Amino acid sequence: MTMSDYTTPTPEMQEGTSGKSNKKQQSTTWAAQQARRGGRSVVALSREGRERPLKPSPSGPGLYRDRFGHDVPALRDSKYEWRQKKQKTLAVATLYRATDDHQHADRVVSCATWLQYLADQAGDKRTLQAFNPCHLRLCPLCANRKARQMTARLVRILTAVKAEHPEATLLFLTLTVKNVPGNELRDTLAKLTKGWDRLAKRRPFLRAVLGWFRAVEITYNPTTDEYHAHIHAIAAVDGRAYFRVAVLLDRKGNEVKGEDDKAIRSLYANGLYIPHGRDDRDEGGNLKTPDWYKGPFWVDMWRDCMRLDYDPSVRISKVTGPKGEQRDTDAASYNAALEAAKYATKDSDYLNGKMPEAVRAGVLATYTAALHRKRLVALGGWLADAAQGLDLEDDGDLVHGDEPSDEDLTAATAEMLESYGWHFGVGEHVLKDRTRNPDYTGQGGKWKRQ
Ligand SMILES: [Zn+2]
């Protein structure tokens, strides 16, 4: 099946979502939105619900010509690669069809077939106002926008935490278990989140970690046909206590010299620092912790919480900036947020053209079944306090992927409204409708008064 075999979905299939996280607004149909915008019909949809043929226009690039000789512009949005992402949704639909999952295929085909923009009079500036996401977990477009949005929110949360607790220093934790075959993936995800819940209730954890964010991530290994499920977490600790010990240990091994031994001892005794564990041994196999240390290690705690009969791999590090600098700067927080808020799965795991289609369809089906109705992220402590009322995952707003910028047009400052539709024939979003924005109140807001 080729892309052009898909017909443009009917308006009823195209549920619009507005910019705000308002479920009622989300249920507004596309047709109703059209009506609200002045009842102008959409030009490029014919009565049969099929799209009109377009050809590249001789007038120039970025333009298509319809059979009436009119030039139709393709979407230009410097902020997001709609075309590339939409094409990925069609590739995913093909994989769903390969496993006879037509329900998911139909949904992902209909994703982002309609985009609404606020635009200026000249058509040089535009800001996305609404589109119709499919909200499928494995939709490359929806997943990508969700990850961008989650990163932006996590950065806001981390900034708020650091403003309120200047002593907070961020650690990046990766907690893993052994790779599993596809049929054990869903269970493994449940075990991971349960293991985290146990860990986060342990007294040493509660003492050392004052706030956290955790997310589940999965990768696929095509060589072994196994799945690697793990947890990424950002943990806020009191840097004054935590790193005083950690740095001394890293540099000096098990002997803490030239420092007030009693003070160090009390940090350990109070559980403010948790050593890594197995990797903390020196070449002679001795633990790089003082002999008197009887406290827990990350590896042991994770092993216990996961009820494992082997030592799992645990990585822990201070968050680092873009050039690897160790200081806990805003850029470092951003980097950590970007890493932790990555989507649970990478679309390259099932869109990788080097793997046979049947394998890719199998990976997609495994992910779909494993992630169904699973909650993938959670917050605790200072981070949960800072996020009060901000639902990280389920707010449903996929329009505002990033922080708004001053450049962005608003309903009050945009003279025009534009809507674009995905044209399956040419594989691009093309302009369907351009009308005056009834909410425009800027200079020359005469349209409002008419
Ligand atoms: Zn989607």
Q: pLDDT per residue over 185-203, tens digit each?
A: 999 999 999 999 999 999 8
**What are the pLDDT digits (tens) for 93-142?**
999 999 999 999 999 999 999 999 999 998 889 999 999 999 999 999 99
The answer on 242 and 181 residing in a single domain is: yes
pLDDT band for position 333 (cuts 50, 70, 90): confident
Is 393 part of a structural domain of the chain? no
- Which pLDDT score, from 0 to 100, does residue 282 have? 54
pLDDT band at 326 (very low <50, low <70, confident <90, very high): low
Q: What is the DSSP letter of 200?
A: T
How far from each other are the two terminal CA atoms of the chain, in whole angstroms? 50
Query: Which range among 54-63, 336-345, 348-357 shows the weakest confidence by mean pLDDT?
Result: 336-345
Domain total in the chain: 2
- For ligand 1, the distance from its centroid to the CA atom of residue 216, given in whole angstroms, is 20
Same domain, 297 and 165: yes
Distance 423 CA to ligand 1 centre (A): 16
Compute the distance from residue 132 Cα to the ligand 1 centre, in Å.
8
Give yes or no: residues 91 and 240 share one domain: no
Quick check: is 357 in a domain? no
Mean pLDDT of the chain: 79
CA of 55 to the centre of ligand 1 (A): 27
Nearest to 314 by CA among 344, 279, 338, 342: 279
pLDDT tens per residue, range 201-222: 998 899 889 999 999 999 999 9
User: Is 236 domain-assigned?
Assistant: yes
Whether residues 86 and 175 share a domain: the answer is: no
* Same domain membership, residue 247 and residue 375: yes
Q: What is the mean pLDDT of residues 253-258?
A: 46
Q: Which pLDDT does position 402 carry in this prediction?
A: 63
Query: CA-to-CA distance for 232 and 373, rounded, in angstroms?
Result: 20
- The proportion of the chain whose per-residue pLDDT surpasses 90, expressed as a percent, equals 48
- pLDDT number for residue 425: 92
Do 377 and 305 share a domain, yes or no? yes
Residue 151 lies in a domain: yes
How far away, in angstroms, is 296 Cα from ligand 1 center?
A: 44
Q: What is the 3-state secondary structure (H, E, C) of 237-296?
A: EEHHHHHHHHHHHHHHCCCCCCCCHHHHHHHHHCCCCCCCCHHHECCCCCECCCCCCCCC
Residues 435, 40: contact at Cβ < 8 Å?
A: yes
Question: Both 68 and 126 in a single domain?
Answer: yes
Domain assignment of residue 91, yes or no: yes
Q: Supply the range of the domain harboring residue 220.
A: 140-352+362-386
Same domain, 307 and 185: yes
* Among 314, 273, 270, 265, residue whose Cα is nearest residue 291: 265
Q: Are residues 273 and 287 both part of a single domain? A: yes
Residue 51: the pLDDT is: 80
Looking at the domain assignment, is residue 394 inside a domain? no
CA of 135 to the centre of ligand 1 (A): 5
192 in any annotated domain: yes
Instruction: Report the run of H or E that residue 301 belongs to, with start and end.
Output: helix 298-305
In a domain, 395, yes or no: no
Distance from Cα 8 to the centre of ligand 1, integer Å = 15
One domain, residues 232 and 201: yes
Distance 4 CA to ligand 1 centre (A): 19
- Report the DSSP pairing between strands 114-119 and 126-131: antiparallel
**Lowest mean pLDDT across 117-126, 275-284, 417-426:** 275-284
| Domain co-membership, 56 together with 184 | no
Whether residues 58 and 95 share a domain: the answer is: yes
More confident residue, 97 or 410: 97
Check: CB of residue 331 under 8 Å from CB of residue 322.
yes
**Closest to 17 measured CA to CA, from 90, 119, 115, 149:** 115
What is the rounded average pLDDT of the residues 361-385? Answer: 94
Provide the phi-psi class of 28: left if phi over 0, else alpha when psi is between -120 and 50, else beta. beta
The pLDDT of residue 340: 84
Ligand 1 centre from 229 Cα, in Å? 23
- Whether the predicted model's global pTM rises above the 0.95 cut: no
Average of per-residue pLDDT across 171-178: 93
